[in-house]
């Protein structure tokens, strides 16, 4: 997921923070070292925040498109032989599909985490991510201890992160 993010999450967080501080899109574009002297930094600039969110969603849709393309071409090419030689081929393909879908969904969740980070909600985002990671590790350990299949291991590992995206989206919508 971090590989496909390409550093956009931190960049968008910073740009959202500039909009939250009151800068217009033109002022954000012209930032070199410090905000312009004529910047209104007392109130969030709603227009800037809206345009930044719109751009973030568009860029992440393209990132998701590329990630899905690679997963559906290169990923399948690399997995054809190992999965065809396994005793549960169809089950393993289903596992791979769930992994690809959930991973791309979680990657798209960076839209919401970067927005919240830019809106000075870093601690909240980190709490959600920590809680998701703990649930994911706990679920994976249970699946491994019960000797469940790869399918269930992926479900238990990815599900807390998928739920985290919904929670972050909810928190971002509260701020709008």
15-33 confidence digits (pLDDT tens): 888 888 777 777 766 666 5
SS3 content of the chain, % helix, strand, coil (to 5): 80, 0, 20
* pLDDT of amino acid 1: 56
Quote the DSSP letter at residue 147: T
pLDDT value of position 40: 57
How far is Cα 158 from Cα 176, in angstroms, rounded to an integer? 28
Q: What is the per-residue pLDDT for 175?
A: 86
Residue 14's pLDDT is: 81
Query: In the chain, which residues have pLDDT < 50?
Result: none
Residue 153 has what pLDDT? 95
Asked if 176 contacts 156 with a C-beta cutoff of 8 angstroms, the reply is no
Q: For the whole prediction, is pTM greater than 0.85?
A: no
pLDDT of 3 reads 58
């Amino acid at each position: 997921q971090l590989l496909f993010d390409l550093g956009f999450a931190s960049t968008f967080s910073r740009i959202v923070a500039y909009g939250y501080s009151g800068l217009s899109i033109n002022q954000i574009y012209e930032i070199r070292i410090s905000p312009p002297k004529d910047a209104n930094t007392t109130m969030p600039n709603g227009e800037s925040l809206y345009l930044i969110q719109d751009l973030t969603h568009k860029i992440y849709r393209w990132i998701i498109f590329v990630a899905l393309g690679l997963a559906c071409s290169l990923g399948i090419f690399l997995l054809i032989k190992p999965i065809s030689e396994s005793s549960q081929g169809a089950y393993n393909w289903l596992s791979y599909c769930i992994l690809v879908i959930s991973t791309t969904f979680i990657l798209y969740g960076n839209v919401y985490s970067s927005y919240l980070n830019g809106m000075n909600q870093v601690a909240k985002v980190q709490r959600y991510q920590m809680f998701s990671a703990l649930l994911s590790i706990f679920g994976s350990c249970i699946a491994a201890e019960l000797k469940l299949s790869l399918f269930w291991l992926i479900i238990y590992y990815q599900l807390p992160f998928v739920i985290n995206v919904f929670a972050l989206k909810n928190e971002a919508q509260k701020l709008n």
